[in-house]
Structure 1
Amino acid sequence: MAANVIDEPGEEIVAASKQARSEKRGPFAGIILFLKQVVAELKKVVTPTRKELINFTLVVLVFVLIMMGLVYGVDRLFAWLVVLVFGAPV
């Protein structure tokens, strides 16, 4: 499985963010700080192995099939109730 990674910002990111907030900078400084934080967060991303990816894909497909069956069953039940209440369609 994926490595246990604590989702906390790094100390250097927090320090840079506090420094940027304390100083009044131009409008582009906020954008640059945001992009630096985005890059730092993207470095934390763990790419799944092939086996994990196949497993996750199968879990999603099974879940979608179960939900499709549930929605289909409820739809058929409501259609049967409508016919029962209002009579056969003409």
Structure 2
Amino acid sequence: MSESPAEAVGAPAERAAERPSNGRPNVFSRIVIFVRQVVAELKKVVAPTRSELMTYTSVVLVFLLVVMLFVTVLDFGISKLVFWVFGG
């Protein structure tokens, strides 16, 4: 029932090669798995057709014009309000 001093304090540190991996692959195999997963996901990507691309581009440009108009009107209104409140 008596413990040795090493057991009482704790086992000495094990070398990395002797440590159990707890089921996790090493860092290099995890990198390989990651790259394989990235390639598999990239194979799922479908490029838009020319007509879809033109539609998406048109939608983005119209949205930008609407947002620019909104910000311009808002800026103009706030500047008029500031000049009215503080004089100008």
TM-score w.r.t. the length of structure 2 is 0.72
Offset of 1:23 from its aligned partner? Answer: 3.2
Q: How far apart, CA to CA, are the structure 1 residues paired with 2:24 and 2:56?
A: 46
- Percent identity, aligned pairs only, is 49
1:56 to 2:56 alignment? yes
Q: Over aligned residue pairs, what C-alpha RMSD do you find?
A: 1.2
Instruction: Please list every run of 5 or more consecutive structure 2 residues that lacks an aligned counterpart in the other structure.
Output: 1-21
Aligned residues: 67
Q: How far apart, CA to CA, are the structure 2 residues paired with 1:67 and 1:80?
A: 20
1:71 to 2:67 alignment? no
Higher helix content, 1 or 2: 1
Q: Structure 1 runs of 4+ off > 3 angstroms?
A: none
**SS of corresponding position for 2:38:** helix
TM-score w.r.t. the length of structure 1 is 0.70
Task: Letter of the 2:45 partner, please give it.
Answer: V
Instruction: Please list every run of 5 or more consecutive structure 1 residues that lacks an aligned counterpart in the other structure.
Output: 1-21
